[in-house]
Amino acid sequence: EWLERLVKILIENACKYTRGDSPVHVRLTDEGKRCTLSVNNKGDVIDAEDLPHVFDRFYRTDKARTRGNETGGFGLGLAIAKGITESHKGTIACTSNEVEGTTFTVTLPQAVR
């Protein structure tokens, strides 16, 4: 249930902040002892100085993620995503640039089979 919520947060954010009708790319890979989920969109770039803070509670960048626009939220979704990821002993990261867009990557250890 929590992993489902994690995926939902990342995909909903990507859909909210993508440019126009640009696609959102979701990829899940099996890498042996871990699996990686990446969610990518071509929305506004998150500035380099904002990247270290995107998972902080209530943190919002000044441009694409402000409450004043119709997509606004409260700045909790990515903090919740980080908490879920860490509670499953995983990691979450974000990259953002003009060429590749914004990508959130979650890496989780696979359960013992």
65 contacts 51 by C-beta, under 8 angstroms: no
pLDDT value of position 27 = 97
Instruction: Write out the two tokens for 39.
Output: 């969610």
SS3 of residue 83 by DSSP: helix
Count CB neighbours of 21 within 10 A. Answer: 5
pLDDT value of position 111 = 73
pLDDT value of position 62 = 53
The residue assigned the tokens 């696609």 is 23
Spell out, as residue ranges, where the chain has pLDDT lower than 70: 60-74, 112-113
Nearest to 96 by CA among 26, 45, 55, 62: 45
- Report the C-alpha gap between 103 and 68 in whole angstroms: 24
pLDDT value of position 113 = 46
What are the residues facing 41 on neighbouring strands? 102
- Report the C-alpha gap between 87 and 80 in whole angstroms: 10
- Report the C-alpha gap between 107 and 88 in whole angstroms: 10
